[in-house]
Amino acid sequence: MDEFNKIIKDIKSLKIQGATNIALNGLKAMQLKPDYKSIKLILKTRPTEPCLQNAIKYAKEVENPKISYNYLRNMDKRVENIASKLIKKNSKIFTHCHSSTVIGALKLVNVKFSVNNTETRPLYQGRKTANELAKMGIKVNHYVDSAAEDAIKNSNIILLGADYINSEGNVYNKIGSYAISELAKKHKTPLFIITNSWKYSSKKLKIENRDSKEIWDVANKNITIKNPAFDIIPNKNIKGIVSELGVLKPKKFVNKVKKEYSWIK
Ligand code: RUB
């Protein structure tokens, strides 16, 4: 299999996952095959990913995927730097799934803290998060998804990534994020979204429904497996969106993105 098709396959299977990594690898694929049909194929890999869509749009505008790639990486470095400052000594941080931006921010924190995280069924991206943090010497308490309330009760801040932020400032992230945000509200635990602003889109994107086999390869006509990849965190459950534009309330974030990046539709 050539390198282009391997990237496509790895994004589709979630070997490459997380909005930022999907966009960066999408740009690598675009560099290999910049023709119209190949770009269409790249965009189709994960339909609920504005970061990929915006990164490709920018690459087309500047006629160079590498420039877009570097822009996105630098933007994420700025986000991580700002987010790392939210963490106080002995913080107990809750996170879900695997966000490279959240992990990048935690890498920069130089006070002691611990992490509570959920395994993230069906594909266990939470294990990836736990392993990466543990390798950095960070103590992790790892929970099944249904123990999210316990994990949140034992946390004093919640950091989640984002896949898509819509024009109301509602945030689409890995399935389970909505329930987490409701628990955050119930326990008065501040929830921050750590993200670059290319996750924004004013378009109405559908939530991707993934292969049922990821959950259970069962053959029974009376059982239908539902496998939505994401759900929606309402803006009112979000304390702040931390991006390269600063720490902002969701609606202010949207207004600022519209001003800074008028080409993002
Ligand atoms: C990953 C996920 C991450 C966001 C942000 O879902 O929900 O929180 O994509 O990631 P999936 P990042 O595993 O289905 O891709 O901060 O790396 O952009």
DSSP line for 70-89: HHHHHHHHHHHHHHHTTPPT
Instruction: Give 174's pLDDT tier (boundaries 50, 70, 90).
Output: very high
So what's the pLDDT on residue 73? 98
So what's the pLDDT on residue 79? 98
The arithmetic mean of pLDDT across residues 68-81, rounded, is 98
So what's the pLDDT on residue 116? 98
For ligand 1, is residue 161 a contact (CB within 6 Å)? yes
DSSP line for 133-156: HHHTT-EEEEE-GGGHHHHHHT-S
Instruction: Give 168's pLDDT tier (boundaries 50, 70, 90).
Output: very high
Q: Measure the CA–CA gap between 177 and 182, rounded to whole angstroms.
A: 9
For ligand 1, is residue 48 a contact (CB within 6 Å)? no
Half-sphere exposure of 138 (CA within 13 A, CB side): 27
So what's the pLDDT on residue 109? 98
So what's the pLDDT on residue 40? 98
Averaged pLDDT of the chain: 98
For ligand 1, is residue 21 a contact (CB within 6 Å)? yes
- Using alpha carbons, list the distances in angstroms from residue 42 to 29, 104, 181, 209, 264: 7, 25, 31, 17, 19
Asked whether the whole model's pTM tops 0.95, one would answer: yes
CATH number 3.40.50.10470 is the correct assignment for the domain at 78-260: yes
From the CA of 91, how far away is ligand 1's center (Å)? Answer: 23
For ligand 1, is residue 18 a contact (CB within 6 Å)? yes
List of E strands, the chain: 91-96, 113-118, 139-143, 157-160, 164-165, 171-174, 191-194, 230-233, 240-243, 246-248
From the CA of 260, how far away is ligand 1's center (Å)? Answer: 24
Q: Where in the chain is the domain with CATH 3.40.50.10470?
A: 78-260
Other CB atoms closer than 10 Å to residue 72's CB: what's the count? 21
Q: Measure the CA–CA gap between 71 and 242, rounded to whole angstroms.
A: 18
Contacts of 64 (CB under 8 A, 6+ apart): none
So what's the pLDDT on residue 131? 98
Q: How many helices (H) and strands (E) does the chain have?
A: 10, 10
So what's the pLDDT on residue 159? 99
- Catalytic residue from among 76, 150, 163, 231: 163
Q: Measure the CA–CA gap between 120 and 135, rounded to whole angstroms.
A: 19
163 is a catalytic site residue = yes
Residue of 99, 175, 178, 214 best suited for mutating to test ligand 1, as the one with most atoms within 8 Å of CB = 99
pLDDT tens-digit series, residues 18-59: 999 999 999 999 999 999 999 999 999 999 999 999 999 999
From the CA of 99, how far away is ligand 1's center (Å)? Answer: 5
From the CA of 136, how far away is ligand 1's center (Å)? Answer: 20
